[in-house]
Amino acid sequence: MAKGKTMRPETLVIHGGTAFNDPHGSLTTPLYQTSTFVFPDAETGGRRFAGEESGYIYSRLGNPTVAQLEQRVAALEAMEAGAACATGMGAVAAATMAFLKAGDHVIASDCIYGCSFALFSHLFERFGVHVDFIDMTDETALANAFRENTRVVFLETPANPHLRLLDLAMVGEHCARHNDVRLIVDNTFMTPLLQKPGAFGAHLVVHSATKYLNGHGDVVAGIITGSAEDIHTIKMTTLKDMGATMSPHDAWLIIRGLKTLAVRMEKHCANTERVAEFLQSHSCVSKVYYPGFADHPQHHLVGTQMAHPGAVIAFEMLGGYSAAVQLLNQLEMIRVAVSLGDAETLIQHPASMTHSPLTPEARARAGITDGLVRISVGLEHVDDIIGDLQQSFERVLSNPRARLSAV
Ligand X SMILES: *Cc1c(COP(=O)(O)O)cnc(C)c1O
According to the binding rule CB under 6 A, does residue 239 interact with ligand X? no
Say which amino acid occupies 152: V
Question: CB of 179: closest distance to ligand X in angstroms?
Answer: 28
- What secondary structure does DSSP assign to 133-175, as a single string? EE-TT-HHHHHHH--TTEEEEEEESSBTTTTB---HHHHHHHH
The DSSP secondary structure of 325-365, one letter per residue, reads HHHHHT-SSSEE-S--SSSS-EEE-TTTTTTTTS-HHHHHH
268 near ligand X (CB under 6 A): no
The residue among 200 and 278 lying less far from ligand X, judged by its C-beta, is 200
Angle (CA) 343 83 174, round 5°: 95
Q: Which of 191, 210, 272, 322 binds ligand X (CB under 6 A)?
A: 210
208 binds ligand X (CB under 6 A): yes
Q: Does 222 bind ligand X (CB under 6 A)?
A: yes
The reply to whether 393 sits near ligand X by the rule CB under 6 A is no
Residues numbered 175-194 forming contacts with ligand X, rule: CB under 6 A: 186, 188-189
Of the pair 151, 207, the CB lying nearest ligand X is at 207
> Residue 87 interacts with ligand X (CB under 6 A)?
yes
48 versus 162: smaller Cβ distance to ligand X: 162
Shortest reach from residue 246's CB to ligand X, in Å: 11
Q: Which of 156, 167, 342, 388 binds ligand X (CB under 6 A)?
A: 156
Q: With CB under 6 A, what is the number of residues at the site for ligand X?
A: 13
- Sign of the C-alpha dihedral computed for residues 367, 372, 377 and 382 taken in this order: negative
Q: Which is nearer to ligand X, 32 or 189 (CB)?
A: 189
The helix (H) or strand (E) run that includes residue 262 is helix 261-281
| Closer residue to ligand X (CB): 223 or 285 | 223
Q: Which residues of 292-311 are buried (b: 16+ CB within 10 A; e: fewer)?
A: bbeebebeebbeebbbbbbb
Q: Does the protein bind ligand X through residue 88 (CB under 6 A)?
A: yes
Residues 74 and 80: beta-carbon distance below 8 Å: yes
The CA dihedral of 268, 274, 280, 285, to the nearest 10 degrees, is -60
Determine the residue with CB nearest ligand X. Answer: 88
Active site members = 60, 113, 186, 211
Does position 211 interact with ligand X (CB under 6 A)? The reply is yes
E-strand ranges in 171-299 read: 182-186, 204-208, 222-226, 285-289
Q: Which of 66, 74, 89, 155 binds ligand X (CB under 6 A)?
A: 89
In the bound state with ligand X, the residue whose beta carbon lies nearer, of 198 and 310, is: 310
Sheet holding 312-317, edge to edge: 285-289, 312-317, 372-376, 346-348, 335-336
Residue 220 engages ligand X in binding (rule: CB under 6 A): yes
84 forms part of the interface with ligand X (CB under 6 A) = no
The least distance separating ligand X from the CB of residue 138, rounded to whole angstroms, comes to: 21
For ligand X, the binding residues (CB under 6 A) are 87-89, 113, 156, 186, 188-189, 208, 210-211, 220, 222
